[in-house]
Amino acid sequence: MTNDYRFEFRSYQRRFLRSLTTNHGKWDIREGIILRLTDESGKVGWGEIAPISWFGSETLEQALDFCRQLPREITDEIIFSIPDELPACQFGFESACEMGSGEWGVGSGGDNFITPKSSLFLYSALLPAGEAALNQWKTLWQQGYRTFKWKIGVNAIADELEIFELLIHTLPASTKLRLDANGGLSYEEANLWLRTCDNLKANPELPLEIEFIEQPLPVEKFQQMLELSTSYETAIALDESVATLRQLADCHQQGWQGIFVIKPGIVGSPSRLRKFCHQYQIDAVFSSVFETAIARLAALQLAAELSQNNRAIGFGIDHFFEQEDTWLQTLWNDL
């Protein structure tokens, strides 16, 4: 796309098919902004601003204020100077520019947006927190998933360790399991989980792989997580700690050599993310912010470009919305 665009935007609210429960709380409705850039030749680029303020991005209101103060005609210069305090806006506008080569499956039943079932082993699916995981995994396995992520730090650790014991004796041997604490464990609990996973790793009768424990401690406990990362076999992945490009660079600069969970939708500028990943070859796992199909497509593009080590991407379609393929027409009634 060229560098002068007509800019339009609409905010949206969409209820998840299944709410997400983490240490941060319960999340039922995704709110965001869909933007459309039309260049002088009439080419259209769609973008999505999908903030998660409780995770480290700007708030929806801050993103709306930014959009409202923009003129109807904007330029590349405006887009590539969006401040770092607005990472979800940086992603939404830049990806609209990059993907400006045509419609997003609009009007074609949105089939561009649905992940082919044949490739679901490349995706990680979220198991519900708590003992519901024991019932849900089989449906996802039958759909084709082979990597699962289970949220911990939601219930009492004794209860979660009990469910974990049942889970690892139930899941097929070839499964990869990720545990995501969302920063909700104490230092002692993190040590207990890591020791438990190391003991499992040493048990030849249970070949199931615990791929990593994600964000065991809160963001401010970086030094403790750095120390834990050298004390156990089980890998640790940072997520909340590296939510934005600024945090990502900071943790890398402070010596993090482990896994980095990248949420393209809120990390910030895709062009700067590419530069960082190419420069430092980090071990990245790409992860959804429960965006709609518009940001999902842009995020999957980045994941395909930047993924290393064949790690499944956290974009399982299990949290999809209703009417995924018609909602854009409903939102943008002149399509």
Provide the annotated binding site for Mg(2+): 180, 214, 239
Element (H, E) at 125: strand 124-127
* 43 flagged as catalytic: no
Q: Which residues contact 276 (CB under 8 A, 6 or more apart)?
A: 245, 248, 249, 282
Q: Got the DSSP string for 22-39?
A: ETTEEEEEEEEEEEEEEE
Q: Report if residue 23 touches ligand OSB, rule: CB under 6 A.
A: no
**Do residues 267 and 55 lie in contact, with contact meaning Cβ atoms separated by under 8 Å?**
no
**Contact pick of 58, 160, 180, 211 for Mg ion (by CB under 5 A):** 180
- For 48, phi then psi, to 5°, come to -135, 135
Q: Report if residue 211 touches Mg ion, rule: CB under 5 A.
A: no
Element (H, E) at 261: strand 259-262
8-state DSSP, 171: S
Residue of minimal Cβ distance to ligand OSB: 314
149, 176, 221, 263: the active-site residue: 263
Q: Which residues are annotated as a binding site?
A: 180, 214, 239
Positions in 227-266 near Mg ion (CB under 5 A): 239
Q: Report if residue 287 touches ligand OSB, rule: CB under 6 A.
A: yes
**Contact pick of 30, 146, 149, 311 for ligand OSB (by CB under 6 A):** 149
Sign of the alpha-carbon dihedral angle for 44, 84, 286, 323:
negative
Residue span binding Mg ion (CB under 5 A) among the ranges 134-142, 161-169, 206-214, 273-281 = 206-214
Cα separation, 234 vs 178, whole angstroms: 11
Q: Under rule CB under 6 A, how many of the chain's residues touch ligand OSB?
A: 14
Q: Report if residue 160 touches Mg ion, rule: CB under 5 A.
A: no
Question: What, of ligand OSB, Mg ion, none, does residue 234 touch, CB below 5 to 8 Å by kind?
Answer: none
Residue in the structure block whose two tokens are 């991005």 = 57
149, 151, 176, 221: the active-site residue: 151
Q: Shortest gap between Cβ of 322 and ligand OSB (angstroms)? A: 19
Cα distances (Å, whole numbers) of residue 164 to 52, 197, 282, 311: 28, 10, 29, 22
Cα separation, 170 vs 219, whole angstroms: 33
Closest to Mg ion by CB, 36 vs 149, is 149
* 263 flagged as catalytic: yes
For the sheet with 73-75, list strands across it.
44-49, 25-39, 4-22, 73-75
Residue span binding ligand OSB (CB under 6 A) among the ranges 43-51, 168-176, 245-253, 284-292 = 284-292
**Contact pick of 5, 7, 9, 55 for ligand OSB (by CB under 6 A):** 55
Q: Shortest gap between Cβ of 212 and ligand OSB (angstroms)? A: 11
Residues designated as active site: 151, 263
Residues in the site for Mg ion, rule: CB under 5 A?
Answer: 180, 214, 239
Residues in the site for ligand OSB, rule: CB under 6 A?
Answer: 22, 52, 55, 124, 126, 149, 180, 182, 239, 287-290, 314
